[in-house]
A = this chain, B = another copy of it.
Amino acid sequence: MNRSAALALDSKDSLAALRSSFELPCDQIYLDGNSLGALPSCVPERLRHAVEQEWGRGLIRSWNSSWFGASERVARRLAPLLGAHPDEVEVADSTSVNLFKQLASALHARPGRPRILIDADAFPTNLYMSDSAARWLDGHHFVDRVPAEQLFAKLGDDVAVVVLSHVDYRSGRLHPLAELTRAAHTVGALILVDLSHSAGTMPLELTDWAVDLAVGCGYKFLCGGPGAPAYLYVRRPLQVGLEQPLTGWFGHARPFDFEPGFDPAEGMARMRCGTPPVLSLLALEAALEVFDEVDLQALRQKAIGLSELLIRLVCERCGRYGIELGSPLDPALRGSQVSFRHPDAFPIVQALISQGVIGDFRAPDTLRFGITPLYTRFIDVWEAASRLSDVLERDEWKRFPREPEQTVT
């Protein structure tokens, strides 16, 4: 396939116009939207208004006129991306903090079951927080880490909750959430899923699949900005009697009555804790506008098309240099990310960045490319593969240090 053929794919792409909703540097090919989503064009003006008018002029009154309503407005925009009812969604805190809340509420909802069953390759925070819940809460729980493919087999009636990263952040493997939810329910366990690497790239049907609990971050494919507030989902039937330990005043039924006792708000509002970071929250709210009217099925198909092209081109042109596919070959088993493996992945990624292609490295040997179908073009993928093959052919990566500096998911 040549350059013109890639351009032809873009010209036939029904979602191509969405790219104009983003501010993207014209001299970069950005394949790291699974770390930090690009800037939606509507955000700068919204934030300028929030700072200068709402904070500067409105001052405290802007809580009533705009800010209090923000989390509900965000929930309404997030719900269709998750396949959830708006009253099943809340936005608050970070994914990490929300994991702790959800773990605690799950253990509380399934008393007498000591086991937390978790994918051993889950994102590290999921592992750390499961350990913390077992250690710091009542002390009657333990964590059972097993390879993802063994989660089904390891289910049992002593499991309180199964913790799953929907898409593996290294390999991009997409785990069978609906099936695992059904299996967990057959033994009476709950499921808690981290959607950070899937939401915004594919249709999700949390309510239909009867997923119990979910968390996810706002700054990857949702494009809410660096460290954007995270979200939580709890399915309706489980919200009755739901309790969690981070009982800040924003989760109170009547926060402005300043009552001495905690009476949790109705529904998902009880999953809030303290005052939200309003500026970051409003950036996320504005960013989610981009998804209005987007057909998630079409988005997923485009992501698959882009990923298939990247895999084909890289395998054709770079296989001879020792690059191997690190993601599942079957697109149905892959999120919106393609990973390759190479012993010198780190300097290769650095060389590629110097050539204007931004992907990232994950230790020890993974080159990771995020595919954001909202703004990634077929020509971007073609160029990325082409520059990767140049970097390898010319040994350009050998000019870069072999040891990593800090990078971020």
Interface residue ranges, A against B (CB under 8 Å): 23, 25, 28, 30, 32, 35-36, 38-39, 43-44, 47-48, 51-52, 54-57, 59-64, 67-68, 93-97, 99-100, 104, 120, 123-125, 127-129, 131-133, 135-139, 145, 169-170, 217, 219, 225-230, 245-250, 252, 255-262, 273-281, 283, 358, 360, 362-363, 404-409
Question: Closest CB of chain B to A46's CB: distance in Å?
Answer: 10
The answer to whether B136 touches A104, judged by C-beta atoms less than 8 angstroms apart, is yes
In the bound complex, CA of A226 to CA of B274 (Å):
12
The answer to whether B277 touches A228, judged by C-beta atoms less than 8 angstroms apart, is yes
The answer to whether B47 touches A246, judged by C-beta atoms less than 8 angstroms apart, is no
A-B contact pairs, 7 of them (CB 8 A): A23-B52, A39-B55, A55-B225, A95-B248, A96-B248, A278-B280, A280-B280
> Which of B36, B38, B94, B275 lies in contact with A227, CB distance below 8 A?
B275
The answer to whether A363 touches B59, judged by C-beta atoms less than 8 angstroms apart, is no
The answer to whether A63 touches B30, judged by C-beta atoms less than 8 angstroms apart, is no
A280 to chain B: which residues have CB within 8 Å?
277-280
A23 to chain B: which residues have CB within 8 Å?
52, 56
> Which of B104, B132, B225 lies in contact with A51, CB distance below 8 A?
B225
Copies per assembly: 2
**Chain B: CB-nearest residue to A353:** B61
A405 to chain B: which residues have CB within 8 Å?
64
The answer to whether A132 touches B28, judged by C-beta atoms less than 8 angstroms apart, is no
> Which of B28, B124, B248 lies in contact with A128, CB distance below 8 A?
B248
In the bound complex, CA of A406 to CA of B265 (Å):
15
In the bound complex, CA of A248 to CA of B151 (Å):
23
The answer to whether A35 touches B55, judged by C-beta atoms less than 8 angstroms apart, is no
Question: Closest CB of chain B to A68's CB: distance in Å?
Answer: 7
The answer to whether B279 touches A246, judged by C-beta atoms less than 8 angstroms apart, is no
The answer to whether A229 touches B93, judged by C-beta atoms less than 8 angstroms apart, is no
The answer to whether A44 touches B52, judged by C-beta atoms less than 8 angstroms apart, is yes
Question: Closest CB of chain B to A287's CB: distance in Å?
Answer: 11
A133 to chain B: which residues have CB within 8 Å?
245
> Which of B219, B250, B275 lies in contact with A275, CB distance below 8 A?
B219
Whether A129 contacts B248 in the complex (CB less than 8 A), given A55-B225, A273-B94, A275-B227, comes out as yes
A123 to chain B: which residues have CB within 8 Å?
249, 258
Question: Closest CB of chain B to A322's CB: distance in Å?
Answer: 23
Whether A94 contacts B96 in the complex (CB less than 8 A), given A60-B407, A245-B135, comes out as no
The answer to whether A249 touches B93, judged by C-beta atoms less than 8 angstroms apart, is no
> Which of B44, B68, B226 lies in contact with A278, CB distance below 8 A?
B226
Question: Closest CB of chain B to A162's CB: distance in Å?
Answer: 18
In the bound complex, CA of A226 to CA of B229 (Å):
14
Question: Closest CB of chain B to A63's CB: distance in Å?
Answer: 5
A227 to chain B: which residues have CB within 8 Å?
67, 275-279, 281
A170 to chain B: which residues have CB within 8 Å?
258
**Chain B: CB-nearest residue to A248:** B96
The answer to whether B129 touches A247, judged by C-beta atoms less than 8 angstroms apart, is yes
Whether A59 contacts B28 in the complex (CB less than 8 A), given A96-B246, A227-B278, comes out as yes
**Chain B: CB-nearest residue to A38:** B59
The answer to whether B256 touches A100, judged by C-beta atoms less than 8 angstroms apart, is no
The answer to whether B279 touches A225, judged by C-beta atoms less than 8 angstroms apart, is yes
The answer to whether B226 touches A63, judged by C-beta atoms less than 8 angstroms apart, is yes
The answer to whether A363 touches B257, judged by C-beta atoms less than 8 angstroms apart, is yes
In the bound complex, CA of A36 to CA of B58 (Å):
11
In the bound complex, CA of A23 to CA of B57 (Å):
8
Question: Closest CB of chain B to A362's CB: distance in Å?
Answer: 7
